Amino acid sequence: MAVAVIAHYPDLSAGSYDEVIASLDLDVNPPAGAILHVAGGDDGLVITEIWQTEETFRAFYDHRLRPALRMHGVLRDPVVEVQPLHNVYAPQMFTIERMGAVSLPLHAAGAAL
């Protein structure tokens, strides 16, 4: 069953996030089960994702994301909430499609909404 994952990273700055994301090389090696990733926030970051299953999220977090976070100095684990996915509504899906499948932050990828 698809799940929504909401993770609060109080110690993760936008700059550190950019470094972590770049180090994961997601464009070349996307995680199995990942469907959508959105990051934002002013005081730390809140990352919202959709995964095919909770198990695919946990495997990615444990084996790839947590080590990358540690490597970039983020030592505190996020507060993570996993809920069954009920609906996805994207009224401007064409905008997302135009952005392409780029794992870098919008400013780094040169994409604009």
- Show me where the domains of the chain are located: 3-88
Rounded CA-CA distance 92/17 in Å is: 26
Residues 3-88, CATH architecture: 2-Layer Sandwich (3.30)
Per-residue pLDDT of the chain (113 residues; tens, 9 = 90+): 999 999 999 989 989 999 999 999 998 899 999 999 999 988 889 999 999 999 999 999 999 999 999 999 999 999 999 999 999 887 877 776 666 655 656 555 554 44
Q: Supply angle C-alpha 95, 17, 4, rounded to 5.
A: 60
Tell me the backbone φ, ψ of residue 46, rounded to 5 degrees. Answer: -115, 125
Rounded CA-CA distance 77/105 in Å is: 22
Within 13 Å, how many C-alpha atoms sit on residue 2's CB side? 11
2, 35 Cβ separation under 8 angstroms? yes
Q: Which two tokens stand for residue 64?
A: 């790839």
